[in-house]
Amino acid sequence: MKILVLHGPNLNMLGLREPEIYGSFSLADINQILIADAEKLGASLEFLQSNHEGALVDAIHAAFNQKAGILINPGAYTHTSVAIRDAIAAVHLPTVEVHLSNVYKREEFRHHSYIAPVAVGQISGFGVNSYRLGLQALVQHLTG
C-alpha cells in the first residue's frame, strides 16, 4: 500500500517557525515518525514538500494509478488553492488533510478549507500526532 505524503509551503521550516504554534519537531522528524508508523501499518510512503503550488499539483497527478491514497498538509494552500482541490478531485484517491495546529482556533481566514470537501477527512490541532492519526485513518479507510 503506497501512500503519498505531501507537505505544503513553509513546512520545511518546522522546528524553527513559530514553535509555540507548530511545535519543535522538524519536517525530517515528522517524516521519520511516519515511516515507523507506516511499517507497523503495512504501508510505504513517498514524501514531497514544496513551497510551490504547481509542484504539489504535479505530484498529485503523478500519484494517479500509482498510489493508494494521499496524506496532505497543504499549509496555507488549504485556504487558497482551488488547483490543489481540483487535482485531488481529479485523481479520485482517498485523501486525508492534516494540520499541526487547530486551524479553527486561529485567524478566521484559516477556518475555510478548499481541500476538506474532496478529502475523506480532516485532522487538526494535535501537532505531530495529527499526521500520525491521519495516516492511521487513511490506512484504515483503504483497508476497509
Which pLDDT score is estimated for 122?
A: 98
**Average pLDDT in the chain:** 95
* pLDDT at residue 78 greater than cutoff 90: yes
Which pLDDT score is estimated for 7?
A: 98
% the chain with pLDDT above 90: 85
* pLDDT at residue 85 greater than cutoff 80: yes
Contact 61, 85 (CB under 8 A): no
Cα gap 81→33, rounded to integer Å:
28
As given in the structure block, the three cell numbers for residue 100 are 499541526
Which pLDDT score is estimated for 53?
A: 98
Burial of residue 141 (number of CB atoms within 10 Å: 0-12, 13-18, 19+)? middle
Domain that holds residue 27: 2-143
What's the total number of domains in the chain? Answer: 1
* pLDDT at residue 63 greater than cutoff 90: yes
* pLDDT at residue 140 greater than cutoff 80: yes
pLDDT tens, 19-54?
Answer: 777 878 999 999 999 999 999 999 999 999 999 999
Span between the terminal Cα atoms of the chain, in Å: 13
Please provide residue 2's backbone torsions phi and psi, each rounded to the nearest 5 degrees: -100, 130
Q: Among all residues, which ones are annotated catalytic?
A: 22, 99
pTM: 0.95
Contact 45, 36 (CB under 8 A): no
List the CATH number of the domain containing 31: 3.40.50.9100
